[in-house]
Structure 1
Amino acid sequence: MIGILVLTHEDLGDHMIRCASHVVGMKPPQLLHLSVFPQDDPDAVLTRAREMIKQLDSGDGVLVLSDMCGATPCNIASRLTQPGKVECIAGVNLPMLVRVLTYRNEPLPVVIEKGLSGGQCGVMHIGTEPCHAN
């Protein structure tokens, strides 16, 4: 199973995990968040993130989901990357998180592709008719 670390500004990751747990009906295993606050030393956060990666990796790899490309959480995530073992996606949203949780028993490249497609397809203009989940 692919481990998932949600690395975000402040408590966004914690809230996203709670929402995703609601959607999937349980708190998924091997899923953690790491918050980055303005006063945090990025090197200290990186050290904590590396510890969490070890905790999450059961041998199938870890996917790090970060909120905004170019911001501190994403810059920290980029320093965690180990191709094929620890991969990162920026721009996490709830559809992306639910999608990677759904497909996390697949190989890491498949989980990345599903996460990207879920994140992109989850952003749409809606009208007056109700939306239906895909």
Structure 2
Amino acid sequence: MAVGILLITHEGIGNAMIAVATRLLRKLPLDTTALEVPFDGDAESLLPLASAALRRVDGGHGVLVLTDLYGATPSNLGQRVARLGTPVRRVSALSLPMLLRVMNYADLPLDELPAIAAAGARNGAIIDEA
């Protein structure tokens, strides 16, 4: 069972997240790709690119879409791509702890990964009193 991971982010975020995660883990256990949205990008015109990215990582068990900012164009594009027929779950507020946690639970089904992703984000935010 292998869920695909699609990062839909603003420019400069998604590919950097994948590069750092790959450096830390050496190899990502899930098929992962990023679609970086231009700041002036339109969700409707970017839908074919998002659909193609979704198909690249979908191994038949669905795709977890991680976006950087809820309500912004990448998030809206994630919402649109979720309506294309492939089983999709979406989580916003992408962070490196979120992505790494998802990779550490690569054997879980799609329906369980959103909670894992959110826990990674929550538990990765530490208030350092030092």
Fold in common (TM above 0.5): yes
Aligned AA for 1:60? H
Equivalent pairs counted in the alignment come to 128
Residue 93 (structure 2) aligns with: 91
Residue 59 (structure 1) aligns with: 60
Q: How far 1:84 sits from its partner (Å)?
A: 8.2
Q: Distance in 2 between matches of 1:68 and 1:38?
A: 12
Q: How far 1:25 sits from its partner (Å)?
A: 2.0
Q: How far 1:47 sits from its partner (Å)?
A: 1.1
Residue 111 (structure 1) aligns with: 113
Q: Distance in 2 between matches of 1:15 and 1:49?
A: 18
Helix, strand or coil for the counterpart of 1:35? strand
Residue 68 (structure 1) aligns with: 69
Taking structure 1 as the reference length, the TM-score comes to 0.87
Aligned AA for 1:104? A
Aligned AA for 1:20? A
Q: What's the RMSD between the two structures over aligned residues?
A: 1.8
Q: How far 1:39 sits from its partner (Å)?
A: 3.5
Q: Distance in 1 between matches of 2:24 and 2:39?
A: 30
Which stretch has the larger CA shift, 97-106 or 37-46? Answer: 37-46
Q: After the TM superposition, which residues 25-40 of structure 1 pair with which residues of structure 2 at under 5 Å, given as runs?
A: 25-40=26-41
Aligned AA for 1:64? V
Taking structure 2 as the reference length, the TM-score comes to 0.89
Aligned AA for 1:93? S
Which stretch has the larger CA shift, 76-85 or 62-71? Answer: 76-85
Which stretch has the larger CA shift, 87-96 or 40-49? Answer: 40-49
Contact 1:21 1:28 in 2 (8 A): no
Residue 23 (structure 2) aligns with: 22
Q: After the TM superposition, which residues 73-84 of structure 1 pair with which residues of structure 2 at under 5 Å, given as runs?
A: 73-82=74-83
Higher Cα Rg, which structure: 1
Runs ≥4 residues deviating over 4 A: none
Is it true that 1:10 corresponds to 2:46 in the alignment? no
